[in-house]
């Protein structure tokens, strides 16, 4: 499988390609010369210490953050100032946040149907039918009429995943999806993500869940100080890291 | 090992839910905790009771039992009391009610005012009431109501024109207040969004407007409206005084609403904006569906506060010579038949304002409760 993914990432068929990308927050150089090709159906886990720029990197892919140099091409569309391109890309790229970011004034069903109705212009009945099928897929159809504030963190995060999936995205971005969850709820969210991975979705996941990385990732990327330090298939990444910085990081997160 | 304090003990994991201790509940419990919880509180309670004992009987006598409800003038009022001024002469208010309500609106046309009041009631009811059939149409009706009311009150297009100077009393107060309230909200929201816009020119215009209006007292703006505005307008254009006042009152309230709404917008976590963006919603979609519903909900107390303030500020128009309820009432005090009845007048006006403001405040509370969805942000 790892062999496949390496081939995939080198073909013309990459779904995301990032070349020589730089980003600054004011004077702070947060991303330095990022080059990344993501193949269709590829699953990448990004890890690294906090402040390493990993969240910023995936937020650049749907333009929640603006990059200042280099280029990012998603599904053949380059991310520029052009608002139309940005809206096109955003409707093709789903994102799941650390803090879930559900809309608290809307019910679960309304959260999940909102974008299909307003962005995809689906008729309400069709959107609701599709929403219920995704809520079943994340195993909470019975919560459809509740408000997010009445759900547990794990349930909210699964709703957030369903909300993204309802746009039928080609790519899913996960920004530390389990970091804000109680330990008992992490598994229910990871299970949904693993199921999603098995369906062939292209996924970029910022996480420190190394079990998840081992189970589903084609590649693990390690970032530090705004740079990609190392990228490896998970087995090689965990068993034979090349850089001292990676070894130090792994020793700190794996042995305690 | 250690003996439990609770006489009953349960196996781990089997402890049932028990009711709370009974001392803290019930009427006796309430009186104990709220009125007699400490020597100081007991003393304060007793002093308050003594104070009420001193003022309540005479107040009730003056306001109700000793008051005169119908008479032709104050002399008849006094004659009906044990001693002149022994009670309130409510006959004064009753006799002036029509004037207070309609001002000098021509008598044969007053059905138009009544109809406007009825439609106003319907618009408020329809706009505020949840779960009524055809909510969409009620809202559309509420949106066109101000224009409908303007036509009904001022005439034209088939109705006898009534000069705006004929408006007075409660009618004028309500026209000023309702116009200010209903137009300041959309304008204030637009200003708040403009102030947070990424377009520098738009942002600058909104900031300058808001800060200028907030930095100048309303009375000054009203004087500007009554005296100076004609100099700024193209020569030859005449602009009704009431119209100028309405515009000023609206702009004034809008500047305050804008700041309240901006507070609400900033109270939202950036995650809400990001989630809306990430789903591909456009700026207007995300604001209409995600941002504003939540920001306005947060802002309800501030918005209603501004509404109440601007409602009460509407009496300031008397300074530029407009006869709202307060101005008209004060003029009525000079009527030889009713000389010296200021307490009755001011109690009546206070009650009028208190009832409407209290209703607004209660509605805002119930609205907050209704919009509560269990979310802690």
Question: Contact A219/A5 with Cβ under 8 angstroms?
Answer: yes
Contact A95 B373 (CB under 8 A): no
In this prediction, residue A34 carries a pLDDT of 95
B150 domain-assigned: no
Rg, C-alpha atoms of chain B: 28
Which of A91, A97, A102 is the closest to B280 by Cβ? Answer: A91
Distance CA B86, CA B75 (A): 13
Do B22 and B99 lie in one domain? The reply is no
Contact B375 A147 (CB under 8 A): yes
My answer on whether B199 and B327 are in the same domain is: yes
Residue with tokens 């009445």: A150
Q: Between B135-154 and B110-128, two packed helices, what is the crossing angle to 10 degrees? A: 160
Least confident piece of the model among A53-62, B42-51, B129-138, B338-347:
B129-138
Q: Which residue, A71, A96, A68, A80, is CA-closest to A20?
A: A71
Q: Is the pLDDT reported for residue B377 higher than 60? A: no
Task: Looking at the structure, tell me whether residues B308 and B254 fall in a common domain.
Answer: yes
The model's pLDDT over B173-197, given as tens digits with 9 standing for 90+, comes to: 999 999 999 999 999 999 999 999 9
C-alpha closest to that of A230 among A91, A52, A62, A3: A52
Instruction: Looking at the structure, tell me whether residues B95 and B44 fall in a common domain.
Output: no
User: Is B354 found in the same domain as B288?
Assistant: yes
B243 touches A at CB < 8 Å: no
Mean pLDDT value across chain B: 89
Residue B21, domain member (yes or no): yes
Q: In which band, very low, low, confident or very high, does the pLDDT at A8 lie, cut at 50, 70 and 90?
A: very low
Q: What's the CA gap between B61 and A82, in Å, rounded?
A: 76
A193 touches A177 (CB < 8 A): yes
Band the pLDDT of B32: cuts 50, 70, 90.
confident
In a domain, B145, yes or no: no
Residue B23 contacts A where some CB pair is shorter than 8 Å:
no
Q: Which domain holds residue B167?
A: 91-105+162-371
Strand partners, A78: A73
| The pLDDT of residue A1 is above 70 | no
Per-residue model confidence (pLDDT) at position B24: 66
Average pLDDT on B336-345 reads 90
Kindly report the backbone phi and psi dihedral angles of residue B25, in degrees, each rounded to the nearest multiple of 5, phi listed first. Answer: -115, 170
Partners of A64 on chain B (C-beta within 8 Å) are 274, 277-278
- Residues of chain B in contact with residue A104, where contact means CB-CB under 8 angstroms, are 294, 373, 375, 377
Length of chain B: 377
pTM: 0.85
Residues B98, B19 share a domain: no
Does residue B171 form part of some domain? yes
- Give CA–CA dist B103/B329, Å, rounded: 10
Residue B76 burial class via C-beta count within 10 angstroms: exposed 0-12, middle 13-18, buried 19 and up:
middle
The DSSP bridge pattern shows strands A43-47 and A69-74 to be unpaired
- The partner residue sitting opposite A64, judged by closest CB among B277, B289, B374, is B277
Please compute Rg for chain A using Cα positions: 18
Do B101 and B44 fall within a single domain?
no
Confidence (pLDDT) at B23: 66
**Per the domain annotation, does B132 fall within a domain?**
no
Residue B70 lies in a domain: no
Q: Is the pLDDT of residue B35 over 90?
A: no
In this predicted structure, the answer to whether residue A38 has a pLDDT above a threshold of 70 is: yes
B36 and B95 housed in the same domain: no
If asked whether residues B56 and B171 sit together in one domain, one would say no
Diameter of chain A by CA atoms? 55
Q: Is B299 on the interface with A (CB under 8 A)?
A: no
Question: pLDDT tens digits, residue range A113-138?
Answer: 999 999 999 999 999 999 999 999 99
**B279 at A interface, C-beta within 8 A:** yes
Q: Are residues B214 and B273 in the same domain?
A: yes
For B140-150, the pLDDT digits (tens) are: 999 899 999 99
Are B53 and B171 part of one and the same domain? no
Instruction: Tell which phi-psi region holds residue B3, choosing left (phi > 0), alpha (psi between -120 and 50) or beta.
Output: beta
At B297-329, the pLDDT tens digits run 999 999 999 999 999 999 999 998 889 999 999
Same domain (yes/no): B299, B334: yes
Tokens representing residue A168 in the block: 């039928």
Q: Is B229 among the domain residues?
A: yes
Looking at the structure of chain B, the number of domains it has is 2
Q: Rounded to a whole number, what is the distance in angstroms from the first to the last CA of chain A?
A: 31
Q: The CATH number of the domain where B317 resides is what?
A: 1.10.3720.10
Whether residue B203 is contained in a domain is answered as: yes
For tokens 């993914």, the residue is A5
Chain A residue with minimum CA distance to B281: A119
Tokens 């150089």 locate to A29
């Amino acid at each position: 499988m790892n062999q496949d993914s390496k081939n995939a990432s080198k073909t013309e068929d990459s779904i995301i390609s990032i070349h020589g990308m730089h980003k600054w927050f004011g004077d702070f150089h947060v991303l330095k010369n990022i080059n990344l090709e993501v193949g269709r159906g590829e699953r990448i886990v990004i890890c690294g210490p906090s402040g390493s720029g990993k969240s910023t990197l995936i937020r650049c892919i749907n333009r929640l953050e603006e990059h200042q140099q280099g280029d990012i091409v998603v599904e053949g569309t380059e991310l520029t100032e052009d608002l139309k391109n940005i809206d096109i890309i955003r409707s093709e790229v789903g994102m799941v946040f650390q803090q879930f970011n559900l809309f608290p004034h809307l019910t679960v069903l309304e959260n999940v149907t909102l974008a299909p109705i307003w962005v995809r212009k689906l008729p309400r009945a069709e959107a609701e039918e599709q929403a219920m099928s995704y809520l079943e897929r994340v195993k909470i159809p019975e919560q459809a009429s509740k408000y997010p504030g009445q759900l547990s963190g794990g349930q909210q995060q699964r709703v957030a995943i369903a909300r993204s999936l309802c746009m039928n995205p080609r790519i899913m971005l996960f920004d530390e999806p389990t970091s804000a969850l109680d330990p008992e709820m992490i598994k229910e969210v990871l299970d949904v993500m693993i199921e999603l991975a098995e369906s062939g979705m292209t996924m970029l996941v910022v996480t420190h869940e190394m079990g998840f990385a081992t189970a589903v990732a084609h590649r693990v990327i390690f970032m530090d100080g705004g740079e990609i330090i190392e990228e490896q298939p998970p087995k090689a990444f965990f068993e034979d890291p090349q850089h001292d910085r990676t070894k130090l990081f792994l020793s700190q997160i794996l042995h305690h | 090992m250690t003996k439990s304090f609770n006489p009953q003990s349960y196996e781990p994991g089997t402890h049932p839910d028990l009711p709370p201790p009974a001392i803290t509940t019930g009427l006796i419990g309430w009186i104990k905790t709220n009125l007699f919880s400490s020597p100081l509180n007991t003393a304060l309670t007793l002093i308050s009771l003594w104070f009420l004992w001193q003022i309540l009987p005479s107040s009730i006598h003056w306001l109700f039992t000793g008051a005169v409800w119908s008479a032709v003038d104050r002399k008849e009022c006094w004659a009906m009391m044990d001693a002149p001024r022994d009670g309130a002469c409510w006959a004064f208010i009753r006799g002036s009610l029509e004037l207070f309500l309609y001002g000098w609106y021509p008598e044969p046309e007053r059905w138009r005012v009544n109809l406007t009041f009825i439609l106003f009631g319907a618009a408020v009811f329809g706009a505020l009431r949840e779960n009524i059939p055809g909510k969409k149409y009620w809202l559309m009706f509420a949106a066109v109501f101000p224009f409908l009311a303007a036509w009904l009150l001022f005439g034209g297009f088939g109705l006898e024109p009534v000069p705006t100077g004929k408006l007075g009393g409660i009618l004028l107060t309500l026209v000023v207040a309702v116009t200010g309230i209903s137009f300041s909200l959309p304008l204030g929201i637009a200003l708040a969004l403009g102030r947070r816009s990424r377009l520098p020119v738009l942002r600058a215009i909104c900031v300058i407007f808001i800060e200028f209006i907030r930095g100048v007292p309303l009375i000054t703006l009203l004087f500007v409206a009554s005296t100076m505005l004609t100099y700024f307008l193209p020569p030859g254009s005449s602009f009704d005084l009431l119209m100028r006042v309405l515009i000023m009152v609206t702009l004034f309230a809008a500047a305050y609403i804008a700041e309240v709404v901006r507070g609400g917008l900033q109270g939202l976590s950036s995650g809400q904006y990001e989630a809306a963006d990430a789903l591909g919603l456009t700026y207007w979609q995300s604001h209409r569906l995600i941002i504003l519903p939540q920001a306005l909900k947060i802002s309800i107390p501030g918005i209603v506060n501004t509404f109440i303030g601007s409602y009460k500020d509407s009496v300031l128009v008397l300074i530029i010579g407009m006869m709202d309820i307060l101005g008209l009432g004060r003029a009525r005090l000079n009527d030889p038949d009713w000389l010296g009845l200021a307490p009755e007048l001011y109690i009546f006006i206070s009650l009028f304002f208190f009832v409407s403001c209290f209703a607004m405040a209660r509605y805002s509370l119930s609205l907050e409760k209704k919009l509560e969805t269990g979310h802690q942000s």
